[in-house]
Amino acid sequence: MRVLVSVDMEGIGGGVDAEDVRPGHSEYERNRTLITAEASAAVRGVCTADPGADVLVSEAHAGFRNLLPDLLDRRALLLRGKPKQDGMLAGLADDVDAAVFIGYHGKAGTGHSVLAHTINGAVVADVRCDGRSLGELGLNAALAGHRGVPPVLVTGDDTVAAEAAEAGISPATTANFPIFVDYQEDVFQAVKAAVSDDLAKALTIAGKHDREAEQQA
């Protein structure tokens, strides 16, 4: 199994203010350890579900240079910096079996949402596809689905959970886990369960390429 883990920053446990996610602030440096820990928890979850899995961790926040590479679980391949094809979903390809979104946030204009925006809060008020308003979660889920890669889990606040429900993605919300270290364990458990379920489905139905062929027929 090959899993792409896209890691944003505004939705990690403990992030509540712009200074928490903006380079140059002391709180940002602290939150770099938290985002790296949650990314590592996701890697552990995938590798526990499938010890032979390949895991791609794609940086998805700002300049794509936020995780601390030396602290990331060594079983992952880290994709960071620019330029990055497919941006937040760099690494998306036909051989990827599942996508996991870590630390995602609500779309622009969402009330009572932690650090809500879409792509660039100073520029973008809304993005619509066929008249439907989509945030970064919805846009990335649509891109993954278009490429035949199922999004299986998103972590973030309760507004992200609502967006995930609309997209049919399982959510794990930071609001339920106020102790950050505990939340990292919940990220691990949620990813393990989601990937295990996706792996089980893959073993009982036609392969992805076969399904694509059937859809095209």
Comparing C-alpha atoms, which of 112, 170, 108, 157 is closest to residue 135? 108
Looking at the DSSP bridge assignments, the partners of residue 58 are 6, 79
CB 170 within 8 A of CB 194: yes
Say how far apart CA 19 and CA 32 lie, in whole Å: 12
Q: What helix, strand, coil percent values describe the chain, rounded to 5? A: 40, 15, 40
Catalytic residue among 61, 117, 146, 209: 117
Cα 17 to Cα 109: distance, rounded to the nearest angstrom? 16
- To the query of whether residue 61 is one of the catalytic residues in this protein, the response is no
Q: Which residues are tagged catalytic?
A: 117
